[in-house]
Amino acid sequence: MSSGVNCCNSCPTVQSVNVPGIQGATGATGADGTPATILPAQSFYVVGSSQALTAANAQLLTSVITLPTDSTYLLSAGVRIDYSGATTTTSRTVYLRLYRTNNGAAAVANTEHELSTGLVTLDDSTLCSTTFPTVVYTGTAGDIIHVQGSLSVALAAPYDPYEAGSIIAVEAWMLALPIT
């Protein structure tokens, strides 16, 4: 293409881009005239293995980011939760959140996410592929953050001999994008 941007095949024609400024000029500068500093994003993506959710909160799929600097970050994350040969007789709640494991271990505010399961019989489908709410997080160098999940009640618990299988995490991702 000589000019324009293809809109992922959603547009019937190539769209033109109109960016103000002089072609070839340097980008934005700070108040003192120095160029903006580009900070590296921290991210991970895990897929291929699976991990059964239990009633205890646990890190999902070795999902971890260690923040490199004191900064303000946009945190975004998501997971895919599947049934694996699951038979349930009551609905469950899947609890998901981002969790800081050091520097005062705690859930990252406003990242809690809940999913409800249905009643299933020998199901091997995807329960949900979901994205956490994106949040602004003021981090300290060395903060360790991971995706955590649990179930309200584990499957095949001694409470119900008719239940079987599991609810599993099969994919997880997270991005920490520095914004200051």
What does 162-176 look like in DSSP terms, one character per residue? Answer: T-EEEEEEEEEEEEE
Place of tokens 């997880």: 172
List strand residue ranges (DSSP E) for the chain, in order.
Answer: 42-52, 58-59, 65-66, 71-87, 93-100, 106-107, 113-116, 126-131, 135-139, 144-151, 164-178
Sketch out the chain's domains with CATH numbers.
42-178 (2.60.120.760)
- Rounded to two decimals, the pTM is 0.74
Greater model confidence, 51 or 7: 51
> Does residue 153 carry a pLDDT above 50?
yes
Report the relative pairing of strands 164-178 and 71-87 from DSSP bridges.
Answer: antiparallel
Instruction: Give pLDDT, residue 145.
Output: 94
Report the relative pairing of strands 126-131 and 164-178 from DSSP bridges.
Answer: unpaired
Cα-Cα end-to-end distance for the chain: 35
Mean pLDDT of the residues in the chain: 80
Q: How far apart are CA 142 and CA 103, in angstroms?
A: 8
Per-residue pLDDT, averaged over 140-165, amounts to: 87
Residue pair 108/36 in contact (Cβ under 8 Å)? The answer is no
Confidence of residue 156 (pLDDT cuts 50, 70, 90): confident
Instruction: Give pLDDT, residue 48.
Output: 63
- State phi, psi for 137 to the nearest 5 degrees: -130, 125
Q: How far apart are CA 118 and CA 91, in angstroms?
A: 5
How does pLDDT run across 54-75, given as a tens digit for each residue? 999 999 998 889 998 899 999 9
How does pLDDT run across 83-117, given as a tens digit for each residue? 999 999 999 999 999 999 999 999 999 999 899 99
Instruction: Give pLDDT, residue 45.
Output: 76
